[in-house]
C-alpha cells in the first residue's frame, strides 16, 4: 500500500524546487518564512556583495538557471545579520566609497537625493600579499 505525503511548502534550491513537509523543514532547520535553501541564500549573499542587486539576479540565473529577482536579493541582504569584522592589529589603510540615494517623497513633491558614504578598513597584511 502506498502512502500519500502532503507537501506543505516549496523551497527553491540550486538543484530546483524542493517540496517539503513541515517535519522535513523542521528537521533541516528551515525557518517557516524562508523560500530559499541555505546554500542558495549563501550564493545570493555572495553575489550581492560584489555587484548590484540587478546584476546579482542576472548572474545567479546564468550560474544556476534560477530566477531570483533583484528586489528579493535586496531584501535578503537587508534582513541578514552580518557579524562585525574584528581586527587585531592597527588599521593602516582605508577605502572610502560614496554615492547618492533617492529618498521617497510624498506624491507630487520633487525627488530628494542624499549623499552616502561607505568605508572599509584594511589591515596592512592584506595589502602586501
Q: Cβ–Cβ contacts within 10 Å for residue 15, how many? A: 12
Residue 57 DSSP one-character state: H
Residue 2 in any domain: the answer is: no
Same domain, 75 and 96: no
Q: What is the pLDDT of residue 122?
A: 57
Residue 117 in any domain: the answer is: yes
> What angle, rounded to 10 degrees, do the helices at 53-64 and 38-50 form?
130
Domain of 114? 91-128
How many domains are contained in the chain? 2
Position of cell 502532503?
A: 6
Percentages helix, strand, coil for the chain, rounded to the nearest 5?
35, 30, 35
Same domain, 106 and 60: no
Same domain, 21 and 62: yes
- As a whole number, the mean pLDDT across the chain is 78
Give the pLDDT confidence of 35-80 residue by residue, as tens digits.
888 888 888 888 887 778 888 888 888 888 888 898 988 888 888 8
93 pLDDT more than 80 = no
Amino acid at each position: 500500500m502506498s502512502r500519500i505525503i502532503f507537501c506543505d511548502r516549496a523551497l527553491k534550491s540550486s538543484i530546483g524546487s524542493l517540496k517539503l513537509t513541515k517535519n522535513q523543514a523542521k528537521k533541516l532547520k528551515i525557518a517557516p518564512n524562508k523560500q530559499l535553501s541555505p546554500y542558495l541564500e549563501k550564493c545570493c549573499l555572495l553575489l550581492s556583495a560584489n555587484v548590484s542587486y540587478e546584476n546579482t539576479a542576472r548572474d545567479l540565473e546564468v550560474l544556476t538557471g534560477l530566477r531570483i529577482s533583484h528586489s528579493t536579493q535586496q531584501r535578503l541582504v537587508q534582513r541578514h545579520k552580518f557579524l562585525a569584522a574584528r581586527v587585531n592589529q592597527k588599521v593602516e589603510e582605508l577605502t572610502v566609497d560614496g554615492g547618492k540615494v533617492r529618498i521617497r517623497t510624498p506624491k507630487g513633491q520633487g525627488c530628494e537625493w542624499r549623499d552616502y558614504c561607505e568605508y572599509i578598513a584594511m589591515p596592512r597584511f592584506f595589502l602586501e600579499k
